[in-house]
Amino acid sequence: MFAAGTAAFGTLPAGKKMVIGMSQCNLGEPWRVQMNADIKKAAQKVPGLDVVFKDAQNDTLKQRAQVEEFINSGVDLLIVSPKEAAPLTPPIAEAYKKGIPVIVLDRKVLGNDYTMFIGADNKRIGLAAGRWIAKRLGGKGKIVELKGLMTSTPGQDRNSGFRQGIKGSGLQVAFEADMKWLEPDARKEMESALAVHSDVDLVYAHNDPGAHGAYLAAKAVGREKNIMFVGIDGLPQEGQAYVKQGLLEASFEYPTGGKEAVENAMKILGGKKGLPKELKLESRVFTKANIDKGGELLK
Ligand code: FRU
């Protein structure tokens, strides 16, 4: 184990340098920019620790190639936030089997060939969103569900959790579409939803950019005041700000895990034993009623 030192996340032995390769699936959303910033900030506290970032620009093949590049360049540890589960599984497994520790961050891969997964529980977030929405609408209403990329695990879990949360209520999902986590796609899908449904009560979007895209589509046809919008991510500069402005009814926090990734990278590099295979992060819900108190922890 490295010395605890005075640094927040431990220190490397004097004069020792280590490199973490960080494979980010894209930097299109503020949330991913924040994740990289959180990693950078945490890593700066450890003298001798360097993080090299690669951005796959939302291209799965590019991300696979970038993970391979990291393996070949001999990084000491890899952090990967994968775009999609299945295609990123083989290169991550390859790194792991070659002895490079891999922290999988936020979106999961298949199987167990990685060192640690860090992320919040998307099923739980979806479930909480479903229950909260059912309560907010008094148990009945027409919903539009704008889903995140369904080949990524948060999209799948935010969908299945939500469906479980509204089960037995009178809520009806009248329109659903995969907006792939992207605001412009969400806006387009919402235009279609509005064209066929004159009585939408609420939009449940799997992320805040999606909820914002839906809001803009409704606003363009003067219907934004008759519809509620709920999103996920809850960044201070995005979802929380939207809730404060009254644009979103609620935003469920999805922490980036950047700080925790560096913290655990240091433990792994220091040879600490008995670390968990999965580190679950807490999540909060922000609503108009609780935003000034900093939201409320999901139970
Ligand atoms: C950003 C993002 C977030 C979302 C996360 C899920 O690319 O879509 O908005 O919470 O990825 O992995």
CA of 47 to the centre of ligand 1 (A): 30
- Give pLDDT tens digits for 108-149: 999 999 999 999 999 999 999 999 999 999 999 999 999 999
Ligand 1 pocket, CB under 6 A:
26, 29, 31-32, 106-107, 148, 152, 154, 181, 207, 232-233, 254
Tokens (6 digits) for 132 = 């909260």
Q: What is the pLDDT of residue 3?
A: 53
Report the alpha-carbon distance of residue 187 to residue 211 in Å, rounded. Answer: 9
Our mutation pick for probing the ligand 1 site, out of 31, 59, 151, 156, counting the most ligand atoms within 8 A of Cβ, is 31
Tokens (6 digits) for 63 = 């991300």
CA of 81 to the centre of ligand 1 (A): 10
The C-alpha R_g of the chain, in whole angstroms, comes to 20
- Angle at which helices 30-43 and 258-269 cross, to 10°: 40
CA of 180 to the centre of ligand 1 (A): 9
Q: For the domain 3-118+256-281, what is the CATH code? A: 3.40.50.2300
Atom of ligand 1 nearest to the CA of 152: 12
Question: From the centroid of its chain, how far is CA 53?
Answer: 18
Atom of ligand 1 nearest to the CA of 106: 12
292 three-state secondary structure: helix
Phi, psi of 105 (to 5 degrees): -115, 130
211 three-state secondary structure: helix
CA of 270 to the centre of ligand 1 (A): 30
Q: Which of 193, 147, 161 is nearest to 174 (CA)?
A: 193
- Give pLDDT tens digits for 4-52: 444 567 788 778 899 999 999 999 999 999 999 999 999 999 999 999 9
Tokens (6 digits) for 192 = 């279609």
Atom of ligand 1 nearest to the CA of 155: 6
Nearest residue CA, atom 6 of ligand 1? 154
Our mutation pick for probing the ligand 1 site, out of 248, 254, 256, 283, counting the most ligand atoms within 8 A of Cβ, is 254
Sheet strand arrangement including 284-287: 170-178, 140-147, 202-205, 228-233, 250-253, 284-287, 296-297
Whether 122-254+287-297 and 3-118+256-281 are alike in CATH topology: the answer is yes
- When pLDDT is averaged across residues 212-231 and rounded to a whole number, the result is 98
Contact 85, 124 (CB under 8 A): no
CA of 206 to the centre of ligand 1 (A): 8
CA of 113 to the centre of ligand 1 (A): 23
DSSP H or E segment with residue 233? strand 228-233
- Give pLDDT tens digits for 50-74: 999 999 999 999 999 999 999 999 9
Q: What is the pLDDT of residue 6?
A: 46
Tokens (6 digits) for 200 = 């939408």
Q: For the domain 122-254+287-297, what is the CATH code? A: 3.40.50.2300
Atom of ligand 1 nearest to the CA of 181: 8
Report the alpha-carbon distance of residue 50 to residue 139 in Å, rounded. Answer: 51
Report the alpha-carbon distance of residue 152 to residue 201 in Å, rounded. Answer: 27
Length of the chain: 299
Report the alpha-carbon distance of residue 66 to residue 79 in Å, rounded. Answer: 12
To the nearest 10°, the Cα dihedral for 36, 41, 47, 52? 10
Q: Could you tell me whether strands 278-281 and 116-120 are parallel, antiparallel, or unpaired per DSSP bridges?
A: parallel
Q: Work out the percent of the chain whose per-residue pLDDT is above 70.
A: 97
Q: Where are the domains of the chain?
A: 3-118+256-281, 122-254+287-297
44 CB-near residues (< 8 Å, 6+ apart): none
288 three-state secondary structure: coil
Contact 52, 21 (CB under 8 A): yes
Q: Work out the percent of the chain whose per-residue pLDDT is above 90.
A: 94
